[in-house]
């Protein structure tokens, strides 16, 4: 076969994607590719995936020698996974798919017949996208196919389909709503799911004997009487609208899990449940009495939804019930309830948000292990006869009752209080077995004199706790102690429990640690964001192995006497101290930002050898598919005198990189660049938020292409010697320096200024190559006398710009011009550039268009929300193709003289004018991408005028109406060309006639 290079049309793709190596292009025949683009080997898959829009499926593809070279580039020898692009819609007839293919997924638009397709023998997973809707009759499926799924539009009859014998999972999409009667299912099918639209009677369906999971979608609401369920069915779920009686349903004997959706609300008395049922779930609206329900003897888990609120007295619970959940609205007395305790099975009981009944006199099941109450529960616990087996008790948001006199169960292990609890703990008789105790947001009571249980090992305090710890009698067994946001008390004189191994402090803690007598067993210590005290003189416990500081910590570490056992030291966002003289213990790992440690193989001693080599030695990040190496935010190596040669070369080699291409400094980096020898290979350099150093005398790398500054940078640009190759330059929020006298690099293509920039542009000597220029929110200077670069193509103004355009001498090359929120100046007399193609106005623009002399080249014109001026008498440019009006436009269209070229017209939500008598523009030719002529008229949410008598343009292709349109269609004389017609939510008219 003769090898041809792909044509330009074939190889088009987004500019951000990299071309395949030229040798690969040469290896592919023209017929091989649908679109040549980037290849991706995702997450160590055994095979190869072409992800969305990066696909190789087409007619006549050769998956052997021609494609093998691509596999070898990625270290793969066989194709396993293939996904087509969203736009792919080519016939599969004659396609020789790779024999090794395991998974095949088709995108949004694929809708081709499957008859005659030669599937790979190994294919086991096949999925079709949104648009597929072809008959399956006569399809010769691959013999090993086990998973098959169809998308949104599929709605074909399944009778006569010859399914593969191996199929075990079948999913049908949104629109499927065909009868299942007469379908011959594969004997191997075990999981079957039906989409939202399915609502067919199930009587007469011959289910496969192997089916164990069956789920119905949103709209299914058919009687279950007479359904002959498969004997193997294990899990059955019904969707949102199902609400049919269960009386007389003959459930499969094997059914284990049954769930009902939102709307189910049928009486349960008389239901003959399957004997094997283990889990039963009711949805939001279920609220029927449980009296007389004959539960299955095997029932283990029972859940009720939001609305359930029935009395439980007299309910005959199944002896096997282990877990019972009562929903949001349940608020019935528990007195007299006979729990399934006689056989002692109930283990977990939870009450929802609304429950707030006294617990006095409740006869709890003897087996109860876990009990939880919702937000509104706030009853006194004195006199409650807890079950002897209770292990975990959770009290909700509003509980705030005294604990004095509470007779806790001896078995209680875990006790937690909600946000509002704030009662004294003095005199509380804690259970001897209590292991874990936690207090919520508002608790702030003294611990002095509190007799905590001797068994306690975990204790945590919430947001507001801020009491002295001096004199607290901690239990000897306590090993984990945590304080919340507000705690900020001195630790001097605290007598810690001897076994304490984990101690954590919250945001506000910021006390000096000198003189603290730490417990000898402490191994983990963490400080919150606000801690920033010197560590000099701290006597750390010898056992400490993990120490972490929060965001604000920024103290010098030189001279700190670290414990010899320290294994991990974590420093937060703001830490920016020299590491020279820091003597960390052998084997200690330094972590920056709590999540990034030094890479494997990195030598800490080596990295510090030059002292000046590193600003902060931290984690390295190999940016996805970058040719070079990136140090991402907070993981940076920029500093004075950095040696990018011998000292750093070894680190590159660890990551398989030989040249630096991309470098980003941390948020807090703010060191001079004078004397910094940046790597000669550097292509992109980004400075973080706080960088604000002079650029005079900086020796930029000759290869630098992109340079960006963060929010704090605000230094003069006069005298800066820019790199000759600089293409893109951007300034952050605070930059506001004069541009007069700046000697821009001749190569500069894109220049953008941040919010605060607001300097006069008169006298600025722009670079001759400048293509794109954008100004930020505050810019509002006159444009009169500005000498724009002749090459300028795109110009955009920000939020506050509102200057007259009269007398502005625009660059002849200007193609795109956009104005921001506040611009509202008269356009009469503006001398637009002849080349202007796209013009957009912001929210406040609302000036008459009469007398405006538009540029002859204008193609796209957009108005913002507030524009609402008459169009009669407007002299549109003959070239206008696209015209968009904003939210409030609502003017008559009668008498408007539209441009003959108009292709697309959009009206906003408020437009609501009659169309009678409108003289629409005639049809024109087809524009870009080989598409046919396509004139679009779209109307917003409030349009609601009769269509009778409208003289539509003969070329109209697409017509859409908004939310409130609801007019009769009788008598409407539609254009013969109409291809697509859509109506909004309120439309409800007869289509007859």
pLDDT digits (tens, 9 = 90+) for 769-799: 899 999 999 999 999 999 999 999 999 999 9
pLDDT band at 639 (very low <50, low <70, confident <90, very high): very low
pLDDT tens track for 307-328 = 999 999 989 998 889 899 998 9
Cα 128 from Cα 155, distance rounded (Å): 12
> Which pLDDT score, from 0 to 100, does residue 964 have?
65
Kindly state the average pLDDT of the residues 959-971: 72
Give the Cα separation of 23 and 21 in Å (integer): 5
Dist. CA 294–CA 606, nearest whole Å:
75
Question: Which of 296-300, 894-898, 919-923, 946-950 has the lowest average pLDDT?
Answer: 946-950
Q: pLDDT digit string (tens) for 445-469?
A: 999 999 999 999 999 999 999 999 9
- Can you tell me the distance from the alpha carbon of 282 to that of 286, in angstroms, rounded to the nearest whole number? 6
Band the pLDDT of 963: cuts 50, 70, 90.
Answer: low
Of the candidate ranges 297-306, 772-781, 941-950, the one whose mean pLDDT is the lowest: 941-950
In this model, does residue 889 exceed pLDDT 80? yes
Q: Please tell me the predicted confidence (pLDDT) of residue 342.
A: 42
Minimal CA–CA distance to 89: which of 109, 62, 65, 67? Answer: 109
Query: Angle CA(346)–CA(347)–CA(351) in degrees, nearest 5?
Result: 90
First to last CA, the chain: 59
Rounded CA-CA distance 689/711 in Å is 5
DSSP-based three-state secondary structure for 503: strand
Q: Which range among 62-76, 157-171, 195-209 shows the weakest confidence by mean pLDDT?
A: 62-76
Tokens 């611009």 locate to 823
Inform me whether the pLDDT recorded for 708 exceeds 80: yes
**Distance from C-alpha of 405 to C-alpha of 156, rounded to nearest angstrom:** 70
Residue 593 — pLDDT band, cuts 50, 70, 90?
very low
Question: Which residues does residue 714 pair with via DSSP β-bridges, in sequence order?
Answer: none
* Between 949 and 31, the higher pLDDT residue: 949
Pairing verdict, β 794-796 and 772-774: parallel
User: How far is it, in rounded angstroms, from Cα 257 to Cα 521?
Assistant: 49
Give the percent of the chain with pLDDT over 70: 79
Token digits of residue 751: 């220049």
* Residue 609 reports pLDDT greater than 90: no
Pairing of strands 589-592, 596-597: antiparallel
Report which of 807, 819, 814 is spatially closest to residue 788, judged by C-alpha positions.
814
State pLDDT tens for residues 55-79: 333 323 333 323 322 322 233 335 6
Closest CA to 945 of 925, 967, 929, 974: 967
- Residue 941 is predicted with a pLDDT of 53
Structure tokens at 738: 């004069």
Q: What is the mean pLDDT of the chain?
A: 80
CA 469 to chain centre: 43
- Name the strand (E) or helix (H) holding 580: none
Using DSSP's 3-state secondary structure scheme, residue 978 falls into coil
> What residues contact residue 751 under an 8 Å CB cut-off, 6+ apart?
728, 729, 730, 744, 770, 772, 773, 774
Most confident of 214-228, 578-592, 611-625: 214-228
Distances (CA, A) of 492 to 432, 511, 562, 806: 30, 9, 20, 73
Are the C-beta atoms of 208 and 186 separated by less than 8 Å?
Answer: yes
């Amino acid at each position: 076969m003769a090898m041809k290079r792909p044509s330009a049309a074939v190889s088009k793709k987004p500019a951000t994607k990299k071309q395949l190596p030229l040798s690969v292009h040469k290896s592919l025949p023209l017929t091989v590719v649908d679109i040549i683009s980037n290849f991706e080997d995702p997450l160590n898959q055994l095979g190869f995936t072409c992800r969305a829009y990066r696909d190789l499926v087409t007619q006549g593809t050769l998956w052997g020698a021609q494609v093998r070279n691509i596999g070898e580039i990625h270290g793969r020898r066989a194709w396993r996974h293939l996904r087509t692009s969203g736009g792919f819609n080519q016939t599969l007839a004659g396609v020789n798919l790779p024999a090794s293919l395991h998974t095949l997924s088709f995108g949004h638009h694929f809708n081709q017949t499957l008859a005659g397709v030669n599937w790979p023998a190994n294919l086991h997973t096949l999925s079709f996208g949104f648009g597929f809707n072809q008959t399956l009759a006569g399809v010769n499926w691959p013999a090993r196919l086990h998973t098959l799924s169809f998308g949104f539009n599929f709605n074909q009859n399944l009778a006569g389909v010859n399914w593969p014998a191996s199929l075990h999972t079948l999913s049908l999409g949104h629109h499927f709503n065909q009868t299942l009667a007469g379908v011959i299912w594969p004997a191997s099918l075990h999981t079957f799911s039906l989409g939202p639209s399915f609502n067919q009677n199930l009587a007469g369906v011959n289910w496969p004997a192997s089916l164990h999971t069956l789920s119905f979608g949103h709209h299914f609401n058919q009687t279950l009487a007479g359904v002959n369920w498969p004997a193997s069915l294990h899990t059955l779920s019904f969707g949102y609208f199902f609400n049919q009686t269960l009386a007389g349903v003959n459930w499969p004997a094997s059914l284990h899990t049954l769930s009902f959706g939102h709307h189910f609300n049928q009486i349960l008395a008389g239901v003959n449940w399957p004997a094997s049922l283990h889990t039963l779930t009711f949805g939001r609206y279920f609220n029927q009495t449980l009296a007389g329900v004959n539960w299955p003897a095997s029932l283990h888990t029972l859940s009720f939804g939001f609305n359930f609120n029935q009395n439980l007295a007299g309910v005959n619970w199944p002896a096997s019930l282990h877990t019972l959940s009562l929903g949001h609205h349940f608020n019935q007395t528990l007195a007299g309830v006979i729990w399934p305790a006689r056989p002692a099975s109930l283990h977990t009981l939870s009450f929802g948000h609304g429950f707030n009944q006294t617990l006095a006199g409740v006869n709890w099941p003897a087996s109860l292990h876990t009990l939880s109450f919702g937000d509104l529960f706030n009853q006194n616990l004195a006199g409650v006869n807890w079950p002897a087996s209770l292990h975990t008790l959770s009290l909700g948001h509003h509980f705030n009752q005294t604990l004095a006199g509470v007779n806790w169960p001896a078995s209680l292990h875990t006790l937690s209080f909600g946000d509002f609890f704030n009662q004294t703990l003095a005199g509380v008789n804690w259970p001897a077995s209590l292991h874990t105790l936690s207090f919520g947001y508002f608790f702030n009571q003294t611990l002095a004199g509190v007799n905590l249980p001797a068994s306690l090992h975990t204790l945590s305090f919430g947001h507001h706790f801020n009491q002295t710890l001096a004199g607290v009698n901690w239990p000897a067994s306590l090993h984990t102690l945590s304080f919340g946001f507000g705690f900020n008390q001195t630790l001097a004189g605290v007598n810690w429990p001897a076994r304490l191994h984990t101690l954590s402090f919250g945001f506000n803690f910021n006390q000096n640690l000198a003189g603290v007598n730490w417990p000898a067993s402490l191994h983990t210590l963490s400080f919150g964001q606000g801690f920033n005290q010197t560590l000099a003189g701290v006597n750390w416990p010898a056992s400490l192995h993990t120490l972490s500081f929060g965001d604000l910590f920024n103290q010098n570490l030189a001279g700190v006497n670290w414990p010899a056992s320290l294994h991990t030291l974590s420093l937060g966002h703001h830490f920016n101290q020299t590491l020279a003289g820091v003597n960390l213990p052998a084997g200690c790992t330094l972590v920056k930002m709590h999540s990034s440690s030094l890479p494997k193989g990195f030598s800490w001693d080596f990295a510090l050898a030059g002292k000046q080599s590193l600003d902060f030695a931290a984690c390295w990040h190999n940016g996805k598919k970058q040719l070079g190496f990136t140090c991402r935010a907070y993981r940076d190596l920029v500093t004075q005198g950095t040696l990018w040669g011998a000292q750093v070369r070894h680190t590159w080699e660890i990551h398989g990189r030989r040249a630096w291409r991309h470098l980003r400094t941390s948020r807090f980096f703010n060191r001079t660049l004078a004397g910094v020898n940046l790597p000669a290979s550097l292509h992109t350099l980004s400075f973080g938020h706080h960088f604000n150093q002079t650029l005079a005398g900086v020796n930029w790398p000759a290869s630098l292409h992109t340079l960006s500054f963060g929010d704090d940078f605000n230094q003069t640009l006069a005298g800066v010697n820019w790199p000759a190759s600089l293409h893109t330059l951007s300034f952050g929020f605070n930059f506001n320096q004069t541009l007069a006298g700046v000697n821009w690099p001749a190569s500069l293509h894109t220049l953008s200024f941040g919010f605060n920039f607001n300097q006069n542009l008169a006298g600025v000597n722009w670079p001759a190559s400048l293509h794109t220029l954008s100004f930020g929110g505050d810019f509002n200077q006159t444009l009169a006398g500005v000498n724009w670069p002749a090459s300028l193509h795109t110009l955009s103004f920000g939020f506050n710009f509102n200057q007259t355009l009269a007398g502005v001498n625009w660059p002849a090359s200007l193609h795109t011009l956009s104005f921001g929120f506040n611009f509202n100046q008269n356009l009469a007399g503006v001398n637009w550039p002849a080349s202007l193609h796209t013009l957009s106005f912001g929210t406040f623009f609302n000036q008459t268009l009469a007398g405006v002399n538009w540029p002859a080249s204008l193609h796209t014109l957009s108005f913002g929300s507030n524009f609402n001026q008459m169009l009669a008498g407007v002299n549109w440019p003959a070239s206008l193709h696209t015209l968009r009006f904003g939210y409030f436009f609502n003017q008559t269209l009668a008498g408007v003289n539209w441009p003959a070229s108009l292709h697309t017209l959009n009206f906003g939500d408020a437009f609501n004018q009659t169309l009678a008598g409108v003289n629409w523009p005639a049809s024109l030719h087809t524009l870009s991408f080989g598409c046919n002529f396509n004139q679009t008229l779209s109307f917003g949410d409030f349009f609601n005028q009769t269509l009778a008598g409208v003289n539509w343009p003969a070329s109209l292709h697409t017509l859409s109406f908004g939310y409130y349109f609801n007019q009769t269609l009788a008598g409407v004389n539609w254009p013969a060309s109409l291809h697509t017609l859509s109506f909004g939510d309120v439309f409800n008219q007869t289509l007859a006639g």
